């Protein structure tokens, strides 16, 4: 492969070998991004005259050169001209030889589906998918196959900067001082592993549009994707996440620090930001909204679904450093009259409901007594006589997974799966689990989680009514320093 900087500024010669211009830049066919689709942009007038390789897969990934930008030094000043690739006989490190005796003197203007390499990509930031990092392009690597040149890779090395500044001589001088071979270029990234970051700077002609292998980006774990977003500006992070569905983008946001979550959400369209807040766990959405002004938070809550907004509003009412401030109200609670078979059937049915999915965090099942607290009446119900028998529930009655009432026990998923299908939950649940109150300090809850080796700590009010849970990852967030937050393994998901 050949560095672009080695090809640039070399002579362009006519068929008689006379220099007619200098190679200012290379133009490639822009492979426009479309959220991972393979749809190509419409060919422009320049590209129609270009010679393309027969290997469609190769050109889908590695943009082919469609022409040269030639710098012509005329008496009235320099001007840049476009030379289509079909007028170029050969190109190498010594310059380019033309197949035609004359060149078009019309001034070069970039078209919408073209990428001018030096102008558009030098010093730009891109995502190295394999390295899970954001890198800056110091040079580009070009590959030649049967006379056709392609953009093949990105060079992020310091040597590439020296090469651009002083040519290969300076690169070789540094290599000699460091005791390395100058051709040992290890900081190369295959173009197939590069994802563009949108740059909406109007002075640079708008965003750099590239087709990207979105399938590779989709393979990154949300934690790795979050590490990439952390290295970007909020606007760039929002642009990068715009290519993902709401669930994937929300999972990535949840891995960011609270303040950065808010910054990226602010950079988005408000409707999109509200959609992602709906997808986020209520406690994570609450943390993000706490970094907004009250007016901004109220506007986003207004755009959210009523049910999701109400859950977040409830959590926002608690202090940030209290148990209520770190708990989530996304959990599964079932009535104490249910059986193992009924709960498993309800879980399976809920898992198939796209509009009301199971909570992402499902550490345990919480069993509650649906009877009203002493002195409390169920709306619309007549008072019961003392000693009245409890309501009878049929074995075939659907088991609600969002039951409300006093916490009476906890059931591990393992115990639920291993129990006899007809076993009442009261026979297999764990009694008197440790609990916290919403007004307790977050650090006290984290201590209980650590000491009792819990996956989650139930939170109840003064009457024992279930309010929420503090998951182990939120407890660790309280204990660990900020740099380690959001990086814990959520093994129960």
Model confidence pLDDT, tens digit, residues 139-174: 999 999 988 999 999 999 888 888 887 655 555 555
The whole-number pLDDT of residue 56 equals 42
Whole-model pTM: value is 0.66
Dist. CA 234–CA 267, nearest whole Å = 6
pLDDT tens per residue, range 313-356: 999 999 888 999 889 988 999 999 999 999 999 999 988 887 77
The whole-number pLDDT of residue 201 equals 46
Mean pLDDT of the chain: 80
Q: Which of 210-214, 466-470, 488-492 has the lowest mean pLDDT?
A: 488-492
Dihedral class, residue 205 (left if φ above 0, else alpha if ψ from -120 to 50, else beta):
left
175 pLDDT tier (thresholds 50, 70, 90): low
C-alpha torsion angle, residues 237, 238, 244, 249 (rounded to 10): 80
pLDDT tens per residue, range 271-285: 999 999 999 988 889
Q: Are 477 and 326 in contact (CB under 8 A)?
A: yes
- % of the chain surpassing 90 pLDDT: 46
- Closest Cα partner for 80 from 113, 116, 115? 116
The whole-number pLDDT of residue 14 equals 92
pLDDT of 184 higher than 90: no
The whole-number pLDDT of residue 178 equals 53
The whole-number pLDDT of residue 78 equals 79
pLDDT of 393 higher than 80: no
Given the structure tokens 């979105």, which residue do they identify?
214
Dist. CA 438–CA 435, nearest whole Å = 10
pLDDT tens per residue, range 39-65: 333 333 333 333 333 444 555 678 899
pLDDT of 466 higher than 70: yes
29 pLDDT tier (thresholds 50, 70, 90): confident
pLDDT of 185 higher than 90: no
**Cβ atoms within 10 Å, residue 399:** 20
How many residues does the structure list for the chain? 493
Identity of the highest mean pLDDT range in 182-191, 387-396, 426-435: 426-435
103 pLDDT tier (thresholds 50, 70, 90): confident
Q: Are 122 and 208 in contact (CB under 8 A)?
A: no
């Amino acid at each position: 492969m050949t560095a672009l900087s080695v090809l640039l500024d070399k002579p362009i010669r006519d068929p008689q070998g006379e220099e007619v211009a200098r190679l200012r830049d290379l133009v490639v066919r822009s492979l426009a991004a479309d959220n991972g689709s393979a749809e190509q942009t419409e060919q422009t007038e320049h590209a129609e005259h270009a010679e393309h390789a027969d290997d469609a897969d190769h050109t889908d990934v590695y943009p082919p050169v469609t022409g040269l930008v030639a710098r012509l030094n005329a008496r009235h000043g320099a001007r840049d001209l476009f030379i289509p690739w079909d007028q170029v006989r050969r190109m190498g490190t010594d310059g380019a030889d033309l197949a035609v005796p004359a060149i078009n003197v019309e001034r070069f203007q970039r078209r919408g589906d073209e990428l001018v390499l030096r102008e558009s990509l030098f010093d730009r930031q891109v995502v190295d998918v394999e390295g899970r990092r954001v890198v800056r392009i110091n040079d580009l690597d070009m590959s030649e196959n049967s006379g056709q040149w392609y953009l093949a890779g990105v060079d992020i090395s310091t040597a590439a900067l020296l090469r651009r500044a002083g040519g290969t001589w300076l690169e070789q001088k540094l290599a000699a001082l460091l005791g390395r071979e100058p051709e040992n270029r290890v900081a190369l990234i295959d173009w197939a592993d590069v994802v563009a970051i949108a740059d909406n700077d109007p002075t640079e002609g708008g965003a750099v549009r590239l087709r990207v292998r979105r399938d590779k980006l989709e393979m990154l774990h949300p934690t790795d994707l979050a590490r990439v977003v952390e290295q970007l500006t909020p606007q760039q992070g929002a642009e990068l996440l715009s290519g993902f569905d709401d669930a994937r983008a929300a999972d990535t946001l949840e891995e960011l620090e609270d303040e950065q979550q808010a910054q990226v959400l602010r950079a988005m369209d408000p409707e999109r930001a509200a959609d992602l807040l709906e997808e986020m766990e209520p406690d994570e959405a609450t943390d993000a909204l706490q970094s907004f002004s009250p007016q901004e938070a109220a506007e986003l809550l207004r755009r959210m679904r009523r049910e999701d907004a109400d859950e977040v509003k409830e959590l926002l009412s608690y202090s940030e450093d209290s148990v209520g401030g770190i708990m989530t109200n996304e959990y599964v609670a079932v009535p104490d009259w249910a059986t193992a078979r009924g709960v498993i059937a309800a879980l399976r049915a809920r898992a198939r409901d796209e509009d009301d999915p199971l909570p992402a965090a499902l550490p345990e099942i919480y069993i509650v007594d649906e009877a009203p607290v002493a002195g409390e009446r169920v709306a619309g119900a007549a008072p019961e006589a003392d000693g009245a028998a409890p309501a009878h529930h049929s074995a075939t009655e659907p088991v609600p997974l969002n039951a409300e009432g006093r916490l009476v026990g906890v059931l591990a998923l393992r115990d639920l799966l291993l129990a006899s299908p007809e076993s009442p939950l009261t026979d297999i649940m764990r009694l008197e689990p440790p609990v916290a109150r919403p007004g307790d300090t977050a650090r006290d809850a984290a201590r209980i989680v650590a000491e009792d080796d819990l996956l989650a700590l139930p939170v109840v009010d003064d009457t024992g009514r279930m309010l929420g849970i503090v998951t182990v990852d939120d407890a660790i967030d309280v204990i660990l320093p900020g740099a380690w937050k959001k990086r814990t393994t959520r093994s129960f998901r």
